[in-house]
Amino acid sequence: MKTALLGVVLWLIAAPLVGGLLAGADRILSARLQGRVGPPLLQPFYDALKLWDKRGGVVNRFQNFYMVAFFAFVLASGAIFFAGGDLLLVIFALTLAGVMLALGAWSTHSPYSHVGAEREILQMMAYEPMLLLAAVGMYLAGRSFHVNALASSGIPLVLQLPGVFLGFLLILTIKLRKSPFDLSASHHAHQELVRGITTEYSGRSLALFEIAHWYENVLLLGFVWLFFAFNPALGVAAALAVYFLEVVVDNAYARLTWKVTVRAAWIAAAILGATNLAVVKLLLR
């Protein structure tokens, strides 16, 4: 109970710091890959602070509710994860958060937001099967759906679930909003003229979106860590390496169409995920 509480407090306080630093590192690395110097490491924090002070505007009075709900449920999802709770509940809370974000864009009845919202739920439809199969795979290999049991089991999940891990990396690209699968909102100005899903957000609500995204990234890297949790230090190294890889991929690819995205994620889930699950079930039971 105590460690669970500690996990939640750490998540709430440390995750945005780590997430913001990761975002800063991402921007420097991306700049170097593009032959630029890039901003200071703390630039994402400066940006968020600046947004916080801006006077925002809204199209209607409902839209900010959805953004607040998105933020709150991302926090709730991570709190369940870092308290050592049920993986399926983590995924369901994250799904709820994603739905709230999309609904906020819908509520504004703005064409750019609308396209962003449709693409956001297309992305969710694409990654949901693989995400659920990853949880099922961890259950089959680690005998529990609970994060604390999986982390303390000492079972090298990644060795038993190499296919699931690869499939997870693919949908991680979608979740981190990285090219080639950044359909609904990109980090890069050169990818799009108007940023789909957040078009109608400004000021504090936009800052909230950025901070929620930092939280989300840390949570997703937590999933990566869980694959390597038999050796916590190796897990942290693996999570950082995966993030580095995602940034490189982000800069190396242009955006693909939604059809390719859905197909790629579903084929990965069907071939890498399901096959790996079947093998684990046959060999380990």
Build a one-symbol-per-residue string for 169-198: x at contacts with other proteins by CB under 8 A, - elsewhere.
-------------------------x----
Determine if 69 is a binding residue for other proteins (CB under 8 A).
Answer: yes
- For residue 200, what are the CA distances in angstroms to 7, 38, 220? 34, 27, 26
Handedness of CA 114, 119, 120, 124 (dihedral sign): positive
Question: CB 25 → other proteins: shortest distance, Å?
Answer: 31
Determine if 36 is a binding residue for other proteins (CB under 8 A).
Answer: no
Phi, psi of 86 (to 5 degrees): -75, 125
Determine if 86 is a binding residue for other proteins (CB under 8 A).
Answer: yes
Residue 237 tokens, joined: 């190294």
By beta-carbon proximity to other proteins, the closer residue of 22 and 126 is 126
Pick the stretch among 7-15, 81-89, 211-219, 235-243 that binds other proteins (CB under 8 A). Answer: 81-89
b/e map 62-85, b = 16+ CB within 10 Å:
ebbebbebbbbbbbbbbbbbbbbb
Q: If you ran DSSP here, which 8-state letter would residue 156 be given?
A: -
- Rounded Cα gap, residues 204 and 220, in angstroms: 24
Among positions 11, 45, 73, 243, the unique one binding other proteins when judged by CB under 8 A: 73
- Give the DSSP letter string of 228-247: TTTSHHHHHHHHHHHHHHHH
Task: Say if residues 55 and 255 touch (Cβ distance below 8 Å).
Answer: no
Among positions 173, 179, 184, 199, the unique one binding other proteins when judged by CB under 8 A: 199
Among positions 74, 126, 171, 183, the unique one binding other proteins when judged by CB under 8 A: 126
Determine if 99 is a binding residue for other proteins (CB under 8 A).
Answer: yes
Task: Say if residues 219 and 77 touch (Cβ distance below 8 Å).
Answer: yes
Determine if 12 is a binding residue for other proteins (CB under 8 A).
Answer: no
Determine if 226 is a binding residue for other proteins (CB under 8 A).
Answer: no
Residue 234, Cβ density class (10 Å: 0-12 exposed, 13-18 middle, ≥19 buried): middle
Among positions 37, 61, 154, 189, the unique one binding other proteins when judged by CB under 8 A: 61
Question: CB 59 → other proteins: shortest distance, Å?
Answer: 5
- Rounded Cα gap, residues 216 and 209, in angstroms: 10
Determine if 238 is a binding residue for other proteins (CB under 8 A).
Answer: no
By beta-carbon proximity to other proteins, the closer residue of 22 and 206 is 206
- Rounded Cα gap, residues 142 and 78, in angstroms: 20
Among positions 7, 44, 78, 85, the unique one binding other proteins when judged by CB under 8 A: 85
For other proteins, how many residues bind (rule: CB under 8 A)?
67
Task: Say if residues 129 and 170 touch (Cβ distance below 8 Å).
Answer: no
Residues that bind other proteins (CB under 8 A): 55-62, 64-65, 68-69, 72-73, 76, 80, 85-86, 88-89, 92-93, 95-96, 99, 102-103, 105-114, 117-118, 121-122, 124-130, 132-133, 136, 139-140, 145, 194, 199-200, 259, 262, 266, 269-270, 273-274, 277-278, 281
